[in-house]
């Protein structure tokens, strides 16, 4: 879910001011582009000032409504405050009504309406308004599809429709009837091709949404195509500036952390833009704390505590307490581990997978095996050789509990996988599946998923299909939705080969 959550934030990056209802036009003029870039950089104070100037100097330019909505949704999504959500969501229909008075012959006429619906769909998910989120997606999909028929070469439209086609392609089979009922369809391959076309266009043209397109494609490669190294290269090749733009900092550090480049992530986060010019983004402190914990650094807890002090949101709080507990256990303070896990039980929401998993661990009321925890943390940071040496110091028989023996097999399989020792990895994954498929732990499900990834990489597509289906058959208590989404994405990739 974190990745999903991480992917939603990036897609958003892709005023309550008086609204005008005069017939207007749609243009990303220099003033509009300047305002857009300020919004994208979370420099909201300056953006509001420039938006006022835009409405004065270009009073009939209806792009202003799209920019104002973008700012609203980013502030809601990052800030996570319900009162802001309730206050600003009333603006949506007013802005849509203003846009509907615009030039119907413009490719932006339907696109801006769809973009507003898509932004609000993502925002509603944050506040668990799932039914309305689905309805917003349906409206966005229909508007984008109509616009594609009218303006097939309009690249902003192709960008957003490509995103939706790719995401629809990951919906598990048991839920596809709902997608069909809503009149939506799409595949990962279709979405990828559309976004690739947008990128090709952006490389030789002045394209306002170039950075958004690069980010979308990087996340598609990372989460849906299982091509992490290429995702990192895509972000490296982009023009996003992590030292001037907090969203760019988030994207770059997030991709680095998910592709085993933890040292690079720390360097990026060390220079994160912050201060009164930017909308507060305390999650960046959380990321830096986790990245430094992954390196087993002394002082990593300071960044996690800073996140807890500054956040006004509801998510990642339980996980932050869990990571503080891990920090204390790594440094041989089991009593402090228990203290932070008690805080985990009572603070923060229980909605996203990461917080639910933290709460699950807290309710076990027991201290995990320190040796296995250190191996897990090193692995999460991409320090695979260190994790291997650490794990190989012991055997399964060194652990008294069946759960710890299972985790040992799983962790060693994951390390061998990342070190490209595929036969060893597959052996340990199979042992994990055999011993854990009927337990509630996520180890067996992810072992099946990872086995499928290895077989796919080796072009043994039937074996890959077998293990992706096995991952869907296993129903863990933790991370089920995200693991099943990845297994479905794997099956879709295989279908594209045939």
pLDDT given for residue 169 in this prediction: 81
Region 288-300 average pLDDT: 98
pTM metric for this prediction: 0.88
pLDDT in tens, 223-279: 888 899 999 999 998 999 999 999 999 999 999 999 999 999 999 999 999 999 999
% of the chain residues with pLDDT over 70? 94
pLDDT in tens, 362-382: 999 999 999 999 999 999 999
Of 194-198, 351-355, 368-372, 466-470, give the lowest mean pLDDT range: 351-355
pLDDT in tens, 181-204: 788 888 888 999 999 999 999 999
What's the Cα-to-Cα distance from 489 to each of 129, 297, 336, 495, rounded to whole Å?
A: 25, 35, 40, 10
Q: How many Å apart are CA 116 and CA 405, to the nearest integer?
A: 50
pLDDT band at 173 (very low <50, low <70, confident <90, very high): low
Q: Does 497 have pLDDT greater than 80?
A: no
Q: Does 22 have pLDDT greater than 60?
A: no
pLDDT band at 476 (very low <50, low <70, confident <90, very high): very high
pLDDT given for residue 7 in this prediction: 55
% of the chain residues with pLDDT over 90? 83
Burial 361-378 (b: 16+ CB within 10 A, else e): bbeeeeebbebbbbbbbb
pLDDT given for residue 477 in this prediction: 84
pLDDT given for residue 6 in this prediction: 59
pLDDT given for residue 308 in this prediction: 98
Region 283-305 average pLDDT: 98
pLDDT given for residue 172 in this prediction: 64
Contacts 24+ apart (CB under 8 A), 21-24: 21/97, 21/98, 21/101, 22/59, 22/60, 22/101, 23/60, 23/101, 23/102, 23/103, 24/60, 24/61, 24/62, 24/98, 24/101, 24/102, 24/103
């Amino acid at each position: 879910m974190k990745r999903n959550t991480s992917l939603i934030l990036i897609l958003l990056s892709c005023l309550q001011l008086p609204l005008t209802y005069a017939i207007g036009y749609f243009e990303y003029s220099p003033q509009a582009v300047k305002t857009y870039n300020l919004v994208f950089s979370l420099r909201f104070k300056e953006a509001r000032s420039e938006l006022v100037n835009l409405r004065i100097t270009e009073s009939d330019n209806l792009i202003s409504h799209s920019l104002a909505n973008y700012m609203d949704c980013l502030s809601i999504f990052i800030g996570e405050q319900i009162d802001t959500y309730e206050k600003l969501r009333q603006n949506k229909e007013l802005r849509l009504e203003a846009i509907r008075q615009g030039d119907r012959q413009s490719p932006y006429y339907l696109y801006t309406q769809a973009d507003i619906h898509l932004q609000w769909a993502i925002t509603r998910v944050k506040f668990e308004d799932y039914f309305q989120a689905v309805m917003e997606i349906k409206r966005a999909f229909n508007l984008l599809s109509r616009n594609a028929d009218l303006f097939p070469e309009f690249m902003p439209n192709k960008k957003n429709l490509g995103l939706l086609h790719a995401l629809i392609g990951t919906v598990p089979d048991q839920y596809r009837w709902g997608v069909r009922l809503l009149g939506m369809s799409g595949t990962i391959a279709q979405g990828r091709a559309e976004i690739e076309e947008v990128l090709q266009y952006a490389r030789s043209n002045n394209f306002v949404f170039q950075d958004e397109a690069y980010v979308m494609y990087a996340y598609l490669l990372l989460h849906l195509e299982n091509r992490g190294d290429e995702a990192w290269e895509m972000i490296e090749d982009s023009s996003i500036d992590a030292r001037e733009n907090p969203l760019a900092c988030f994207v770059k550090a997030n991709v680095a952390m998910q592709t085993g480049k933890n040292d690079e992530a720390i360097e990026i986060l060390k220079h994160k833009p912050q201060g009164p010019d930017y909308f507060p983004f305390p999650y960046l402190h959380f990321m830096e704390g986790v990245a430094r914990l992954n390196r087993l650094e002394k002082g990593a807890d300071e960044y996690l505590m800073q996140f807890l002090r500054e956040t006004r949101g509801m998510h990642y709080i339980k996980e932050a307490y869990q990571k503080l507990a891990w920090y204390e256990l790594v440094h041989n303070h089991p009593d402090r581990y228990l203290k932070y896990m008690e805080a985990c039980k009572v603070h923060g929401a229980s909605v996203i997978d990461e917080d639910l998993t933290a709460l699950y661990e807290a309710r076990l009321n027991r201290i995990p095996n320190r040796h296995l925890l250190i191996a897990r943390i090193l692995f999460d940071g991409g320090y695979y050789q260190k994790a291997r040496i650490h794990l190989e110091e012991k055997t399964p028989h060194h652990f008294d509990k069946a759960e710890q023996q299972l985790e040992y097999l799983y962790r060693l399989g994951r390390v061998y996988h990342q070190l490209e020792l595929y036969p060893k990895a597959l052996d340990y994954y199979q042992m994990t599946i055999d011993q854990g498929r009927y337990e509630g732990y996520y180890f067996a499900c992810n072992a099946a998923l990872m086995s499928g990834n290895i077989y796919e990489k080796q072009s043994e597509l039937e074996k890959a299909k077998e293990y992706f289906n096995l991952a869907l058959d296993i129903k863990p208590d933790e991370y089920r939705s995200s693991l099943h989404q990845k297994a479905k994405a794997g099956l879709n990739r295989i279908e594209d080969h045939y």
